[in-house]
Amino acid sequence: MDYQKLKSIIEGLLFMAGDEGLTKRQLADILELDADFASELVYDLQRDLEREARGIQITEVASAYRMTTHPEHAPYFERMAYSPTRAQLSQAALETLSIVAYRQPITRIDIEEIRGVKSDRAIQSLVSKDLIEEVGRAEAIGRPILYGTTKSFLDYFGLASIKGLPEPKHVDVDDALDEQTQMLFDRLDGRQLTIDELKE
């Protein structure tokens, strides 16, 4: 396979892997290449990004390669995160929020098993909006973070406590998730969820 095409594939794989990243062994297995050659491709791609002054970079953390932003760009990301026009809950965030609300305390892995897709960004978005927070660690390998809803969540949805959430009628997991999400959406009543509202 063409060298440039391999680098392009690696760029896509690292983007899809998100915060977990991929080790050179994982890349080698996926691409069916020698591990050292896979590592060489990553370093070459890393140099390409630096030479072109791209907005992302490849860093190696705990032997895994992952895509990250540049620290010097942080002020712009914070400005975007706290912009009211960006504070509206996406469908992914609303689904994730309903799972946390009804199944808390819950780990990221359990959330992703229910949704069937990666949920890192949705979780980060909800944490940044102070709707969910770390409430402990699970007694499992790696002690994964357990998430739960916050006081801001209760305030925004007008709940005295989490027990005030409406009970879904369906038993089926997919149907229950759809219904839970719809009930939270109904409570939003078409309003835009903004950081200013959460602070009130």
Look up the CATH architecture of domain 78-199: Orthogonal Bundle (1.10)
- Residue 68: which H helix or E strand, with range? strand 64-69
Going by CATH, does the domain composed of 3-69 fall within 1.10.10.10? yes
- Residue 20: which H helix or E strand, with range? none
**pLDDT for 156:** 76
Residue 156 CB neighbours (<10 A): 19
Q: Which amino acid is at 142?
A: G
Residues in the chain: 200
- Domain layout of the chain by residue ranges: 3-69, 78-199
Name the residue among 129, 132, 18 with its Cα closest to residue 64.
18
Asked if 136 contacts 146 with a C-beta cutoff of 8 angstroms, the reply is yes
Q: Environment class of residue 106 by beta-carbon count within 10 Å: exposed (0-12), middle (13-18) or buried (19+)?
A: buried
Q: How does pLDDT run along the chain (200 residues), one tens digit per residue? A: 788 999 999 999 999 888 889 999 999 999 999 999 999 999 999 999 999 999 999 999 888 999 998 889 888 877 766 554 445 677 888 889 999 999 999 999 999 999 888 899 899 989 988 899 999 998 888 889 999 999 988 887 778 888 888 776 544 445 556 666 676 666 555 444 443 443 33
139 vs 99, 106, 142, 144, 146, CA distance in Å? 20, 12, 8, 8, 10
